[in-house]
């Protein structure tokens, strides 16, 4: 029986990927651990390993193909004793084994939906025709009456009011997948009971002409359509630049963040004189490697990361994220740091930032920044986190507000350090200061809690020796 190779889900949020390159050709022997393909996600290019043995019989998706849905059939592997040349893609009713494939750099298994290890290809969407599709028979259920369905199928069913328990799944083991829900919607079956609506007094007249609107990137209510926007400008006066995977993901996630997470903002000015003196002292004391280069060189941003990590542990109630119907509170601080790259950004996460030394944070960030710009970060290195730091001070920006990066609950916007005149003991004095603004998710932090967190951060920045003990 042939083995199906499916497009793997390389992160919990991945829905499509680009099949960049096949590293094996038809007829090649496949062993467990062999790298068979390169997959481009919105964030990186990753190598995919096979975990089954056989012969690569059929390549069904050519290299260079963009936007291949997760769990789409991309190749067939012939098992021992099968004739590779005789294999065909499964037709209606035909069955085949499913070969898990493993990305060389695997995401954090705790982030995988439904408890599955994220390194294996999900089977939420079986190849078309793999099983008869139905819409009215009950779905496969586990203990406690739970319906087995893919996350995408659940989301569509919730949005459209479809009762999943009445949908027959065509995925592996009867799992309900996207096309099953769509079939149920088209057939008019499996609709959940809707609450009775009061009778309208009078039907509103339909508009004479409604302008078509394009489906938005990110699931938001549609704004102006592509043609409407282009209609405002002279033809030939602009260039159309299609969105790449990273820009689509940024648009989607941050649009959702602004719609779902109720943001509020808290701003403080932090004096930097003591921090700048300590930084100079520590950098001067750095040891040298065999080539005579300093073992570390601390930046102001390294102090900011450390201060946010310590502030979260000093205000533990704020060291939390929102998770649907509850709050997850963490034992250690995980601080993401925005790194700008061409066409977008990464937010690598410093794990246990509260426990790491300033020099360790500095060296880790230099490594992250270099690999981020080369798009070589692993998913587990930029996923998760409780808060993030976005520093635009190097561009001369004094003050700005940043959008929270889900599932995080806060983000700190850091402005430029500058000389300012303040009043000290009734007389003018010159200090160095920077403005920092904390964006907070009001579902997790109330105003007083957010104020407590940013006040703890300010105290650490202005008294930086506290970061060394």
How far apart, in whole angstroms, are the C-alpha atoms of residue 16 and residue 74? 13
* Contact status, residue 348 vs residue 378, Cβ threshold 8 Å: no
Of the candidates 392, 406, 390, 383, the residue with the CA atom closest to the CA atom of residue 438: 390
Residue 332 is given by DSSP the state S
Of the candidates 217, 221, 225, the residue with the CA atom closest to the CA atom of residue 253: 217
Question: Catalytic residue among 263, 332, 399, 442, which?
Answer: 442
* Contact status, residue 6 vs residue 98, Cβ threshold 8 Å: yes
* Contact status, residue 124 vs residue 71, Cβ threshold 8 Å: yes
The helix/strand/coil state of 396 is coil
β-bridge pairing 16-22 and 326-329: unpaired
* Contact status, residue 153 vs residue 164, Cβ threshold 8 Å: yes
Which residue's structure tokens are 């587990």? 380
The helix/strand/coil state of 436 is strand
The yes-or-no answer on residue 399 being catalytic is no
Query: How crowded is the C-beta side of 193, counted as CA atoms within 13 Å?
Result: 2
Instruction: Supply the residues annotated as catalytic.
Output: 442
């Amino acid at each position: 029986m042939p083995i199906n190779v499916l497009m793997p889900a390389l992160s919990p949020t991945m829905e499509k990927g680009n099949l960049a390159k096949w590293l094996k050709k038809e007829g090649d022997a496949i062993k467990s651990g062999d790298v068979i393909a390169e997959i481009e996600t919105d964030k990186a290019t990753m190598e995919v390993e096979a975990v089954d043995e056989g012969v690569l019989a059929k390549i069904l998706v050519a290299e260079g193909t963009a936007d291949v849905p997760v769990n789409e059939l991309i190749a067939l592997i012939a098992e021992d004793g099968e004739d590779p040349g005789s294999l065909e893609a499964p037709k209606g009713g035909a069955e085949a084994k499913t070969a898990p494939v493993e990305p060389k750099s695997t995401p954090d298994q705790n982030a995988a939906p439904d408890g599955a290890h994220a390194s294996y290809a999900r089977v939420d969407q079986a190849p078309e025709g793999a099983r008869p599709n139905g819409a009215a028979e009950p779905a496969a259920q586990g203990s406690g009456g739970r319906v087995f369905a893919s996350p995408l199928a659940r989301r569509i069913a919730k949005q459209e009011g479809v009762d999943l328990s009445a949908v027959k799944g065509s995925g592996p083991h009867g799992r309900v997948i996207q096309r099953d829900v769509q079939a149920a919607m088209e057939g008019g079956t499996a609709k959940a009971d809707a609450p009775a609506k009061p009778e309208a007094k009078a039907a509103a007249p339909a508009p004479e002409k409604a302008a078509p609107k394009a489906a938005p990137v990110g699931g938001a209510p549609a704004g102006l359509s592509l043609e409407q926007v282009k209609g405002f400008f002279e033809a030939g006066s602009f260039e159309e630049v299609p969105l790449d995977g990273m820009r689509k993901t940024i648009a989607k996630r941050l649009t959702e963040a602004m719609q779902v997470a109720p943001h509020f903002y808290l701003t403080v000015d932090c004096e930097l004189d003591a921090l700048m003196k300590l930084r100079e002292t520590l950098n001067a004391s750095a040891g040298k490697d065999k080539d005579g280069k300093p073992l570390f060189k601390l930046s102001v941003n390294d102090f900011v990361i450390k201060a946010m990590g310590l502030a979260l542990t000093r205000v533990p109630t704020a060291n939390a994220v929102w998770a649907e119907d509850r709050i997850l509170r963490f034992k250690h601080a995980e601080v993401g740091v925005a790194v700008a790259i061409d066409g977008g950004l990464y937010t690598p996460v410093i794990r246990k930032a509260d426990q790491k030394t300033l020099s360790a944070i500095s060296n880790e960030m230099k490594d992250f920044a270099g690999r981020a710009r080369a798009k070589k970060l692993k998913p587990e290195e930029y996923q998760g986190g409780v808060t993030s730091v976005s520093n635009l001070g190097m561009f001369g920006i004094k003050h700005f507000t940043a959008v929270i990066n889900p599932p995080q609950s806060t983000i700190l916007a850091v402005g430029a350090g500058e000389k300012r005149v303040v009043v000290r003991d009734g007389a003018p004095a010159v200090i160095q200061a920077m403005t920092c603004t904390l964006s907070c998710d009001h579902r997790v932090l109330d105003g007083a809690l957010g104020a407590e967190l940013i006040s703890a951060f300010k105290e650490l920045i202005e008294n930086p020796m506290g970061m060394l003990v």
